[in-house]
Structure 1
Amino acid sequence: LPEVTGWLRGSGPTELMLREHSWQLGLDIAQGHKTGFYLDQRDSRLVCSQYSRRLNFEHVLNCYSYTGGFTVAALAGGAKHVTSIDSSAPALQQAAANVALNGFDAARATFMDADVNASLRKFVAEGRQFDAIVLDPPKLAPTVAHAERAARAYKDINRQAFKLLTPGGVLFTFSCSGGIGVELFHKIVASAGLDAGVDGAILQRLGGASDHPMTINFPEGEYLKGLVVMKKQ
């Protein structure tokens, strides 16, 4: 079948607005990735907002930010400033629109159309530090056959993130790769911390929202896994 985008029958707008927890987020179901919004991270965004409020984050770095779901969550929790990095200019435009939609001062958010890996290394070289970092990369290992190469990529970005965290800072790190299991992801993050010369306490384990199927006969449904790690002081 030929690839097409648009309404199957009739016509109408493709830009929608949804309410997630206490904030609003815009999306375009015709132009965005997949459905235009990553619903599976709904619970994790709320967790990020709660930590932001409880620990009084000042400077937050949101990597692979897409349309700024975690950016809005951190700002809603009281973060003073969030830097969002993504390689999609349209996604960043929507992220900026989402920040404005929720009434946050534009000065509290910076958006970078850039490569995350290069940006992390640049920040390390500059001596930048953040109170919280979100790493939510795209799928790097769709199957187990891709796991080894993906593991190196996950380890690299987590190692750089550990270096950028302030003592007592919090890392929200995720993998949506079906080929990377929970235990392997834990080992990758632990190895990244070891290479960075830091220790961390796992505060919480995260996964997909409750409307994402995880059955005994469908282990691939548990593709999303995440860790909340506090860098020890």
Structure 2
Amino acid sequence: MTVKRKERRDTGARKKFSGGSRPVATEPQLLEADEAGPAAILSRRAADRLRAGHLWAYRSDVESLIPALGATTMVPGGLVTLMDSRRIPLGSALYSEASQIALRKVSAEPRVGRGEYLEDMAVRVRTALALRQKMLADGSTDSARLIFSEADDLPGIVADRYGNLVVLQLLTQGTAQDDVRAVLARELAVDGVNQVVERADPRIRELENLPAPSAEPLFVREGVSGPPKTLFTLNGLHLHYDANAGQKTGAFLDQRLNYAAAAAAHAEAHGSGNGEALDICTYQGGFALHLARVAAKVTGVDQSRSSLETAEENLEQNRDAIAAEVEWIEADAFELLRAYDSEKRQFDTIVLDPPAFAKTKRAAEGAMRGYKELNLRAMRMLKPGGVLVTCSCSHHVSREMFIATVAEAAADAGRHVRLMETLGAAPDHPEVLTLPETAYLKCLILRVD
């Protein structure tokens, strides 16, 4: 494999958009234990928000905590009853002593016990699996997000299937427990699944004060051995996945339909087999490989060499379906686009799929500057009639904010830009209308004249 490497200066261009420190919240008052406990008394604002359908209470929302009778403290990860200031119950939630999201609602009923919670969990997992089975009925894809936390009424739980491998993330103190693991291992071990493994996002572990999960699989089918590696299928492409490697806990399954839409937009604008495409922040080649089925030449750019090595493996796995010339470049996205812009490089299609610039609400303003720069340079580098596919995966950046920023970039670039499609995450990552944080992925397909 040949990966071109663009030398970069340590400018910190990415770092200034990556977020800020967590806000410090006032700790709630710990009351004496009584028969209402374990319980959390919430502010009026938080109670109104829950009644309107939101599912979280932040640490700053919690006015006081009531331990269970006979206890002097709250149990990290325990189930608590949610109450307003008049002690009217609002349901039950998982409690975290570490996260700024102190409470995640799991039931509209108060005083839900652990056994009832686990029984409900098993039923909800089966419902989530049945929904995904219908989504994958056409056979071109064998991978999906099986469980998407609050969207499937399973807060703090995410599960992704890659072919015969399921990767589980337990994201809260209430779910990163052995009784939850036992239920999930049993329910996720459906036909065709050979292993269920748990992996953790390091940042979430820090925020939730969670121990590292065991490296041992939660489930291994009889007769199966070896590391948790597999070959999975996405839109007819065969892709490698190794649960022990990579900068993420998985591939970008949420972009599945957007990959296909980008390829279709290129083919419609330039004709199949024609044109040159540039994929910025390609990771393991998701957009690049889909474009390579319809373009003459594709360049994929990422700052992670290991990701590009996997992208090359994915390319070789699909050579029979790809005729395009494909090149991988290891480089910082901002620096490479500045260089290409100054060199007057031109492309027929450009994809921008950067990591989340705004990891906190306070970082959103800086993130907008980052998005604007990327889109401005991309628009200047597109040939007339070119296609721009631009994405944001931060829930702190709303769809309206993102579109407005791209519009500002179009005005500054002096280009006439038409919005052809506004897309989001694939349907295995459903949005909850009353929980705007689930509407995190935005994908715009634009025609630049």
Aligned residue runs from structure 1 range 65-144, under 5 A: 65-76=282-293, 78-103=294-319, 108-144=325-361
Paired position in structure 2 for 1:205: 422
Paired position in structure 2 for 1:36: 250
- 1:115-170 per-residue CA deviation (whole Å, 9 max, x = no partner) reads 01010011111111000000000011123221101000110111000011000000
Q: Secondary structure of 2:363's match?
A: helix
Please give the alpha-carbon distance, in whole angstroms, between the structure 1 residues aligned to 2:362 and 2:214.
31
Please give the alpha-carbon distance, in whole angstroms, between the structure 1 residues aligned to 2:414 and 2:363.
27
TM-score for the superposition, normalised by structure 2? 0.49
TM-score for the superposition, normalised by structure 1? 0.93
Q: Secondary structure of 1:166's match?
A: strand
Please give the alpha-carbon distance, in whole angstroms, between the structure 2 residues aligned to 1:93 and 1:63.
16
Deviates more, 1:20-29 or 1:36-45: 20-29
Deviates more, 1:174-183 or 1:47-56: 47-56
Aligned-residue RMSD, C-alpha: 1.8
Q: Which structure carries more helix by proportion?
A: 1
Structure with higher RCO (Cα < 8 A, 6+ apart): 1
Please give the alpha-carbon distance, in whole angstroms, between the structure 2 residues aligned to 1:167 and 1:222.
32
Please give the alpha-carbon distance, in whole angstroms, between the structure 2 residues aligned to 1:195 and 1:144.
26
Code of the aligned partner of 1:217: T
Tell me how far 1:106 sits from its aligned partner: 8.4
Please give the alpha-carbon distance, in whole angstroms, between the structure 2 residues aligned to 1:29 and 1:106.
29
Structure-2 change in CA distance of 1:37 and 1:195 (3 Å) = same
Confirm or deny: 8 A CA contact 1:99 1:106 kept in the other structure. no
Deviates more, 1:66-75 or 1:21-30: 21-30
Structure-2 change in CA distance of 1:181 and 1:58 (3 Å) = same
- 1:194-221 per-residue CA deviation (whole Å, 9 max, x = no partner) reads 1111120001111000011311222111
Structure-2 change in CA distance of 1:30 and 1:230 (3 Å) = same
Mark the runs of 5 or more structure 1 residues left unpaired by the alignment: none
- 1:159-204 per-residue CA deviation (whole Å, 9 max, x = no partner) reads 0000110000000000001110011000000001111111200011
Counterpart of 1:13 (choices 212, 216, 227) is: 227
Confirm or deny: 8 A CA contact 1:48 1:70 kept in the other structure. yes
Q: Secondary structure of 2:292's match?
A: helix
Counterpart of 1:225 (choices 442, 446, 449) is: 442
Confirm or deny: 8 A CA contact 1:202 1:227 kept in the other structure. yes
Please give the alpha-carbon distance, in whole angstroms, between the structure 2 residues aligned to 1:107 and 1:208.
27
Please give the alpha-carbon distance, in whole angstroms, between the structure 2 residues aligned to 1:3 and 1:161.
40
Is 1:150 paired with 2:359? no
Structure-2 change in CA distance of 1:4 and 1:90 (3 Å) = farther
Please give the alpha-carbon distance, in whole angstroms, between the structure 2 residues aligned to 1:231 and 1:106.
26
Confirm or deny: 8 A CA contact 1:61 1:130 kept in the other structure. yes
Mark the runs of 5 or more structure 2 residues left unpaired by the alignment: 1-209
Paired position in structure 1 for 2:392: 175
Please give the alpha-carbon distance, in whole angstroms, between the structure 2 residues aligned to 1:47 and 1:107.
18
Paired position in structure 2 for 1:191: 408
Confirm or deny: 8 A CA contact 2:298 2:324 kept in the other structure. no
Please give the alpha-carbon distance, in whole angstroms, between the structure 2 residues aligned to 1:231 and 1:52.
12
Please give the alpha-carbon distance, in whole angstroms, between the structure 2 residues aligned to 1:177 and 1:125.
29
Code of the aligned partner of 1:103: R
Counterpart of 1:166 (choices 383, 390, 395) is: 383
Deviates more, 1:54-63 or 1:128-137: 54-63
Code of the aligned partner of 2:254: D
Please give the alpha-carbon distance, in whole angstroms, between the structure 2 residues aligned to 1:92 and 1:178.
27
Please give the alpha-carbon distance, in whole angstroms, between the structure 2 residues aligned to 1:111 and 1:127.
20
Tell me how far 1:48 sits from its aligned partner: 1.2
Tell me how far 1:92 sits from its aligned partner: 0.2
Q: Secondary structure of 2:310's match?
A: helix
Structure-2 change in CA distance of 1:106 and 1:203 (3 Å) = closer
Tell me how far 1:6 sits from its aligned partner: 3.2
Please give the alpha-carbon distance, in whole angstroms, between the structure 1 residues aligned to 2:229 and 2:214.
13
Code of the aligned partner of 2:319: G
Paired position in structure 2 for 1:22: 236
Code of the aligned partner of 1:124: D
Paired position in structure 1 for 2:276: 59
Q: Secondary structure of 2:282's match?
A: coil
Paired position in structure 1 for 2:259: 45
Confirm or deny: 8 A CA contact 1:171 1:229 kept in the other structure. yes
How many residues align? The count is 231
Please give the alpha-carbon distance, in whole angstroms, between the structure 2 residues aligned to 1:197 and 1:231.
10
